[in-house]
Amino acid sequence: MPQAKSDKFFTDLSIKYEWCKGCGICAAFCPKKALFLGNKGKAEKDQEKCSLCGICTEYCPDFAISLVNKGRLSVNAGNEAGFDAGK
């Protein structure tokens, strides 16, 4: 199940532009209208609109879109960056 922004995990939506054929299915199913076809005819995202719901990943016929784990918040106060990708 996709992680939401409110979870402890930093997650991002990744688009592999070399795999995208520009069909627009992802944009059609995006409930927040965060995905669109850019100037080069490939899928692009509006980071501020994207809720990381993962619906686009389910409908992309080319597997060009995925949710990626960027790490999680550290509960260790000594970690100045507040980012702990090792766990």
Where in the chain does DSSP place strands (E)?
9-15, 35-37, 43-45, 65-73, 83-84
pLDDT tens digits, residue range 17-29? 999 999 999 999 9
In the chain, where are the structural domains located?
Answer: 9-71
Per the model's pLDDT, the better-predicted residue between 46 and 82 turns out to be 46
What is the reported pLDDT for 11? 84
Question: pTM for this one?
Answer: 0.67
Among left, alpha and beta (phi > 0; psi -120 to 50; other), residue 33 is left
The band of 9, judged by pLDDT with boundaries at 50, 70 and 90, is: low
Query: Looking at domain 9-71, which CATH architecture does it have?
Result: 2-Layer Sandwich (3.30)
pLDDT tens digits, residue range 34-65? 999 999 999 999 999 999 999 999 999 999 99
